[in-house]
Chain A
């Protein structure tokens, strides 16, 4: 069976994505009742370009991670269903949205952002 993957953008312009891998769960506060709309998850900062270290601040936790190149790059696909013919009915098409070559891995224990300063 043939799966057709279609890339509409050019070879160079194909947008590059990155995975943020966290060891843990990001939860909403109970007061928001699960509505994630327009909520700021946190801040991802790339600190001083020399090392590939990133800080990610979620809530009152600060995570420190690094960029890791994946062994096998991943594609981000978008599944499209077209109704082309009458006979075959639906036709599934996968469209490349982006390519993932790296991930930012936060594997250390988060640092709580607390201090007694007033």
Chain B
């Protein structure tokens, strides 16, 4: 009692020794019984300290004796010591209980001296007035604690000074949070802020009724840990992503339960239980009761709100839970229909996190195959099979859940993963029927499952759902598209994290950051941490320069088109900053387009979609401008392709910007994938092919005057006029007048020489609209190279006369006959060839002439007049076959004559007189007849 105030000499001595300064303080202020700061040391350390203190006391005692020679009882020493130690110990135990709440032990080790000094400053103002330590409990008002000395058995009572202690804790906590960079410069404001933060934390804690307990243990343990990892959601309720998506993913995972856990639990209950126990003791050891209460709370909540009990928290730590769950669980549910879950969305929305958290939540062990892992199909297949089909022999016997991250990125080298998964799913489907039958029997179903191709959930994660290689997967997988969380949600979380890290931010700045990164929380956090590390503050105006890294900027084509056609709203308050935002917008679009790189596709999309926008354009000014830009891009593209000067590509993205400026609208555009280019291209190829094959069928003497291009561009229409003369009546041929007969013959000749005929085709619904006169027939006779295709355009009704069906049939017949005549006995063909050629050239000439005329007079009547001369030569052929054969003989005579003339000129006269004798003998070749000259001859014939 009388040992309250230390002697000055004593102090000096102790300070000179500089022996554990805080112990000094302890010693000096031992009346403040509950020593305030929490001591985070083990029991041994504590003992050690006690011993040290005792030595101190002995020292001081001895000095006392030397100096003042104060009389004192020998008993007081241990009491004092105990007194001094036990409240601390007491406090420590209390703090241990509270450790989960505050857990900031490091500051103690970092700066014990300062703390001590601080404490001393605080406490020197406090004057010990009331009795704190007494032998009799009655002397102490308020709560007291009995303390027994270890050696003597003496008992004293110590007063509880709770209020003071709590205050101290708070102060020290404040200090801990201020990151211990020396003394605080502006203590009042900072303290106020910190108190605000604390209040906020409390609000957060109560609002989300969880989690501070689990997050705080990890804070500041490793200072270099990324915030993204540190604050990644560790349980389902913490997820930032869309609630609906989260639930659906969880539901999907839960559907696996029956097949994955169902019978295994029954067969190997003890194993699983022990494994789970072991697991719970290892991983959840540090978590104290609060964690469990939270879990229970959550479970209750989920039961209430989800209304399906099997979806409640599996809580991999809680074995009884699982047990109950499986007892309750209905047995008949198999694996879900879609065995693959495909999560897609922009980077940083929390796809991977959701997959991990949900899988963990459902009691799976997550095995992740990342894009950076091995890529070859074989390697990936073994890996997937390992994961999906094997049961692990390690201690962690939870079933595995495969998470394939960035599956779309994994496609460059080989679509290994996709192929393997597809294969397994297909195999599954194949024996699905058999499996269902077996599934009723419990034991056999287990066996079946062992061999089943895909018996574990597989979650695939991608950024671009429409990546071409994902197409097959998209059809069989359950697809979830992540949407951006609201900015306020992201900002809330960011704010919370900033507060946890003690970073000063304003919610406005955080909002701007979230806006800039498009709610990419990973990028936000990385930026914040980076800035925090550099001791910079978030600059609201110039966020663009501060955001250091984003995962990948390349977006899907649809996003790019959307950006081009969609005008961003400029906020009113920043209207004065319009020029800056314009520039930013410019940059943004430019980088967006150039990082995608797929320029021709982008421009295709623009071309296809921009006319659908509702922009105000009374004089077609904007449209013309946009088309100019598109034209320029086309020219550039063509030039680049022709000259292979790829560096010119750098100029293409800028062409997007004027288009954006012209036509961008506030409202969301409906963008379609550009299909017209492909459609037109295939159509072009098809038509070219048909034309080319037709061109090959035309005899070369005509075909060489007919280039396909000029034919399509110039002479199709006139030719069609000629091919379907309007004054040809569909009557029997013998009723035709001479003139009409000639006309018909000429037409047949023409069709024959241009190898055009009529053909039976099924009516095309598209064509039916164009040609309604022929549409009534079930099968329509059309020109064989479908020449009408080349003059039929959308919305254009061509004026050509179309022959009647009967006429067409007549023409088919005649053309066939003519063809047969030309083919039969190549002689006749050869005989008439020059004449045919002449007529054809005639016709060709006439076609061009008609093309000129048809412009003035669309239904020209000159074909009959022109075909008269041709008809005279070609008509006998079609009428008289015998004569044709005689012509053939004549032809050979002529041939022979000319040949004879060439070979022996002296025979000419004789040849002229006796033409008939010229070839009296003909040789007839006997194929394969070898013994023609062998005849049996008997000896008798020689002799007689």
Contact = CB atoms under 8 A, between A and B. Distances in A.
Interface string B907-944: 00000000011011111111101101100000000111
Q: Report, as a range, how many residues of chain B touch the other chain.
A: 20 to 34
Interface string B814-834: 000000000000000010011
Interface string A25-55: 1111101100000011110000000000000
B922 A26 contact: yes
Nearest to B916: A31
Given A3-B942, A114-B892, A32 B922 contact: no
A109 B929 CA distance: 12
Contact of B917 (A3, A27, A39, A110): A39
Contacts of A28: 920-922
A10 interface: no
A60 B924 contact: no
Nearest to B941: A79
A60 B892 contact: yes
A78 to B, nearest CB: 11
Interface residues of A, number: 35
Given A1-B943, A116-B830, A118-B894, A63 B923 contact: yes
B896 interface: yes
A29 B921 contact: yes
A9 interface: no
Interface string A1-33: 101000000000000000101111111110110
Nearest to A20: B933
A98 interface: no
A60 B944 CA distance: 42
A50 B343 CA distance: 87
A50 B876 CA distance: 52
A29 to B, nearest CB: 6
B926 A42 contact: no
A42 B932 contact: no
A21 to B, nearest CB: 6
A84 interface: no
A88 interface: no
A22 B834 CA distance: 37
Interface string A74-90: 00010100000000000
A25 B943 CA distance: 30
A40 B920 contact: yes
A29 B929 CA distance: 22
B926 to A, nearest CB: 5
A27 B925 CA distance: 10
B921 A59 contact: yes
A31 B923 CA distance: 15
B899 interface: yes
A107 B926 CA distance: 10
A114 B516 CA distance: 87
A2 B892 CA distance: 57
Contacts of B830: 116
Nearest to B928: A23
B833 A27 contact: no
A21 B923 contact: no
A100 interface: no
Interface in B870-921: 892, 894-896, 898-899, 916-917, 919-921
B529 to A, nearest CB: 91
Contact of A60 (B834, B919, B925): B919
- Of the listed residues A1, A63, A114, A118, the one surrounded by the most CB atoms of chain B closer than 10 A to its CB is A114
Nearest to A32: B920
A59 B833 contact: no
A94 to B, nearest CB: 7
Nearest to A40: B920
Interface string B78-101: 000000000000000000000000
A116 B919 contact: no
Contact of A61 (B899, B917, B923): B923
A21 B934 CA distance: 11
Contact of A25 (B896, B916, B924): B924
A97 interface: no
Given A23-B932, A114-B895, A79 B942 contact: yes
A27 B943 contact: no
B916 A110 contact: no
A79 B917 CA distance: 35
Contacts of B892: 60, 114
A118 B898 contact: yes
B827 to A, nearest CB: 8
Given A114-B892, A117-B895, A24 B926 contact: yes
A117 B898 contact: yes
A26 B942 contact: no
Contacts of A29: 919-922
Contact of B896 (A23, A24, A41, A60): A60
A96 interface: no
A58 interface: yes
A92 B895 contact: no
Contacts of A39: 917, 920-921
Nearest to A39: B920
Nearest to A35: B920
Contact of A41 (B895, B899, B921): B921
B920 A24 contact: no
Contacts of B898: 117-118
Contacts of A92: 942-944
A107 to B, nearest CB: 9
Contacts of A77: 942
A79 to B, nearest CB: 7
A31 B896 CA distance: 18
A20 B892 CA distance: 27
Given A3-B943, A116-B833, A117-B895, A25 B921 contact: no
- Of the listed residues A1, A25, A31, A94, the one surrounded by the most CB atoms of chain B closer than 10 A to its CB is A25
A24 B924 contact: yes
A94 B942 contact: yes
Nearest to B896: A60
A77 B923 CA distance: 28
B923 A25 contact: yes
B923 A26 contact: yes
Nearest to B904: A43
A114 B929 CA distance: 25
A41 B262 CA distance: 103
Contacts of B929: 23-24
A47 B413 CA distance: 70
Contacts of A110: 923, 925
Nearest to B833: A116
A94 B892 CA distance: 47
A24 to B, nearest CB: 4
Nearest to A61: B923
A6 B717 CA distance: 90
Contacts of B944: 92
A21 B916 contact: no
B914 to A, nearest CB: 11
A21 B919 contact: no
Contacts of A32: 920
Contact of A113 (B834, B899, B927, B932): B899
Contacts of B930: 23
A59 B925 contact: no
A32 B917 CA distance: 8
Contacts of A58: 921-923
19 contacts: A3-B943, A22-B923, A23-B927, A23-B932, A24-B924, A24-B925, A24-B929, A25-B923, A26-B921, A27-B921, A28-B922, A29-B921, A60-B922, A77-B942, A92-B942, A92-B943, A92-B944, A110-B923, A117-B895
Report, nearest first, the 4 A-B pairs whose CB atoms are least far apart: A58-B923, A59-B922, A24-B925, A39-B920
Given A40-B920, A42-B923, A117-B898, 19 more contacts: A23-B927, A23-B932, A24-B924, A25-B924, A25-B926, A26-B922, A28-B920, A39-B917, A41-B921, A58-B921, A59-B922, A59-B923, A60-B896, A60-B922, A61-B923, A110-B923, A115-B895, A115-B899, A117-B895
